[in-house]
Amino acid sequence: MAGEDTNDYWRNLSKDFIQKKLSSTFNEKRAKNVIMFLGDGMGLTTVAAARNLLGGEEKQLSFNEFPYTGLSKTYSVDKIVPDSACTATAYLCGVKAQEGTIGVNGDVEYGDCEKGQDKEKWVYSIAKWAQDVGKSTGVVTTTRITHASPSGVYAHIAHRDWENDQEVKTACGSDKGIEDIAYQLINGEVGSKLDFVMGGGKKHFIDSRLYANGRRGDGLNLVDQFKNQDGSRNLYVETRDELMSADLKNYDRVFGLYQDDHMLYHLETDETTNQPTLEEMTRKAIEFLSKNDEGYFIFIEGGRIDLAHHQNFARIALDETVEFSKAIAAARELTSEDDTLIVVTADHSHSISYNGYPKRGNDIFGQTPANPDDRKPYMTLSYANGPSYDRFFDVEKSERVDPTTVITGDRYDRFPAAWPLEDETHGGEDVGVYASGPWSHLFTGVYEQNAIPHMMGYASCLGSGLKMCTRK
């Protein structure tokens, strides 16, 4: 970068940063709207590496520009390294839980059919807190809408995989009265009141006898149930064209399912796939929910960052992070810091590593100048574990394979893993929290992950905890 070799460049950069901090004032107004963005698996390494895709390590993702940042501790009641279900319960419902459980407290163990049904052990998300005071609510994701993170908005269940009735039946039998996650979205106490819902996962909503890819076995078509609820003012869409052309003023609720399973990775899409981007869904969500004079709460997830990491698809994971950043930039453009609190965070990190002394401007997906003892190239990005191990280590010869012969520039390139696992694992370190808008200064420091919804509730006077409107 021009000027980086001078003292003045860095001194002036620091002066500008300090002046910016000195000129900022705390916004202690009541937050009319709350938007929570969740980058699933977006640990600090992912954030730093993704900035290179913007043109260099000195660049900033949209949320890096937020005025206040903090760190949240992600461990669960039973695990040092958590999953996306128990973390969703923490950052949405304000209570830490056990691995694999959603919307229940820490007394419910993973897969406990009996305890999971005990409503005394249920905990409710900030979406319900918002519904209780007349605000609009929504959830948007690039994964199945019944996946662990979005389910935290509306579901109460002891096993994150019970996305349809057949999964429940296999685990607990058919006589327990357990409502699966898809059913809870359409008919549950919170799910049935959500105003704007978008993602993938159509297969979990329709019986296999009614739809070729359906997974249900109870004869239900939950999509049709949604269409027929609340008269004729519910809009259901399955393509980008349908979403973008719809006049949302004519509808009370909007539901979009764009794939039978997860939505396609951004790098898998083109003009023929007819799938909206996360940014497009975000813009439509804010446009729709802004009709309510009381305000809104919405949860928006860049969920496929996580799924790409699990397969050691570093190229895809970082691209998904950039797409996530675009959605956040759109939200800031469409809202005002004066009355809208935006919080961006992750549920957990991943085992990805970013090292090896690469030179400035080096391709983040390329090799480093580090010179390993085996004299074979060494990549800037690698993972502690995952399914790529066999591609990069010759077990019979007990030696590494030259990674530059395996990584070719393809979007599905798997990056090196040190230990063989079917799926790469999460990481357990703290994750970043980035905030702007009313009371965003609360989100500084290091705190438990479950504090996040309580701070959002404080800023917007939601829930039964402390609230800015009653603090005196």
Residues assigned a catalytic role: 84
| Alpha-carbon dihedral sign for residues 33, 38, 39, 43 | positive
Q: Is 86 helix (H, G, I), strand (E, B) or coil?
A: helix
The annotation status of 348 as a binding-site residue, yes or no, is: yes
Q: Is 270 annotated as a binding residue?
A: no
**C-beta separation of 254 from 247 below 8 A:** no
149 is in an annotated binding site: yes
310 is an annotated ligand-binding site residue: yes
350 is in an annotated binding site: no
In Å, how far from its chain's centre is CA 66? 18
Phi-psi domain of 188 (left: phi exceeds 0; alpha: psi -120 through 50; beta: other): beta
Q: Is 265 left (phi over 0), alpha (psi -120 to 50) or beta?
A: beta
Q: Is 436 annotated as a binding residue?
A: no
Measured between alpha carbons, how far is 130 from 467 in angstroms, rounded to an integer? 13
φ, ψ for residue 228 (rounded to 5)?
A: -95, -5
Closest-CA residue to 262 (of 330, 176, 198): 198
User: Has 156 been labeled as part of a binding site?
Assistant: no
CB burial of 224-247 (b: ≥16 within 10 Å; e: otherwise) equals eebeebeeeebbbbbebeebeebe
How many other β-carbons are positioned within 10 Å of the β-carbon of residue 79? Answer: 16
Asked if 148 contacts 88 with a C-beta cutoff of 8 angstroms, the reply is yes
Measured between alpha carbons, how far is residue 373 from residues 290, 376, 377, 412 in Å? 59, 8, 10, 28
Which of 324, 250, 249 lies closest to 287 in space, CA to CA?
Answer: 249
Residue 156 and residue 196 in contact, taking contact as beta carbons nearer than 8 Å: no
C-alpha to C-alpha distance for 287 and 298, rounded to whole angstroms: 12
The length of the chain is 472
Residue 454 assigned as binding residue: no
Residue carrying structure tokens 């290091």: 446
Q: Is 306 annotated as a binding residue?
A: yes
Q: Which tokens belong to 211?
A: 């739809």
For residue 36, how far is the Cα from the chain centroid? 9
Q: If you ran DSSP here, which 8-state letter would residue 424 be given?
A: P
Annotated binding site for Zn(2+): 40, 306, 310, 347-348, 426
Annotated binding site for Mg(2+): 40, 147, 149, 301
Annotated binding site: 40, 147, 149, 301, 306, 310, 347-348, 426
